[in-house]
Amino acid sequence: MQVLPDTQNEQDHREIVIDRVGVRELRYPATYLGRDAVVQSTVAKYEMTVELPAHLKGTHMSRFVDVLHQYNEPLSGASLGRLTAELASRLDARCAQVSCEFTIFREKQAPVSGMKSMMDYELGIESRFYADGDHELFYSVQIPVATLCPCSKAISERGAHNQRGVVTISVEASELLTFEELIELAERSASCELYAGLKRTDEKAVTERAYDQPVFVEDLARNVAAGLKQHPLVHWYRVEAENFESIHHHNAYAMIEA
């Protein structure tokens, strides 16, 4: 049988290390094991890269897909860390990085009627592995919320303007941190959390709850940051709050990083 040339293993003489080389926008079936021990099926979008030494012409692109195909654990910080270490081993790389983005659903119960519905959240995990054994783990999550303007409430005789917004939390944290903790922190920090399904009694309750808890976009960002600052499993954080303004033709935005 004819031996095919292995071009990517040829020598390169430009003496330049490539910090990251690999594949991105790779979609693959996945599962997520939530804090409630319920497994959800989802689709994850991956980016997988390794460091390429200066003397090598190329990496083995097929091995990235092969490693992912053999990955049969639910998505979590710990399992993605193991996947990243395996990728580094298979490609004999000093450093490797794997990140993925995916959607999960949480069942929520309306506050008065008890009506149940599903809310979706966009999650992300990034794992970085180094040859000296160091491992960094980052989480990100987008949480939709509702806010009511304190200024509008203070100056208006009849009501106050409110709007939907989104909180994006990014953290470097221990693998013991759960996405559910971050979601609940953001929802507590807003004027009111959102629901997919509400009866009239629920609509009255959430409208009045928001009216009683007005927050600027600055308040929202600070409320979330205060919770992350005190969390023992969080090593670094960035909070972004964005309100889709209902009476302005622009969005309000605030960011805190520490």
Query: What ranges do the domains of the chain cover?
Result: 17-257
The predicted-structure confidence for 145-199, as pLDDT tens digits, reads as follows: 999 999 999 999 999 999 999 999 999 999 999 999 999 999 999 999 999 999 9
Helical ranges in 18-156 per DSSP H: 61-69, 77-90, 150-155
pTM: 0.93
Amino acid at 66: D
> How much of the chain exceeds pLDDT 90, in percent?
91
pLDDT on residue 242: 98
CATH class belonging to 17-257 = alpha beta
- Report phi then psi at 44, rounded to 5: -110, 145
Residue 113 sits at the vertex; the CA angle it makes with 149 and 214, to the nearest 5 degrees, is: 10
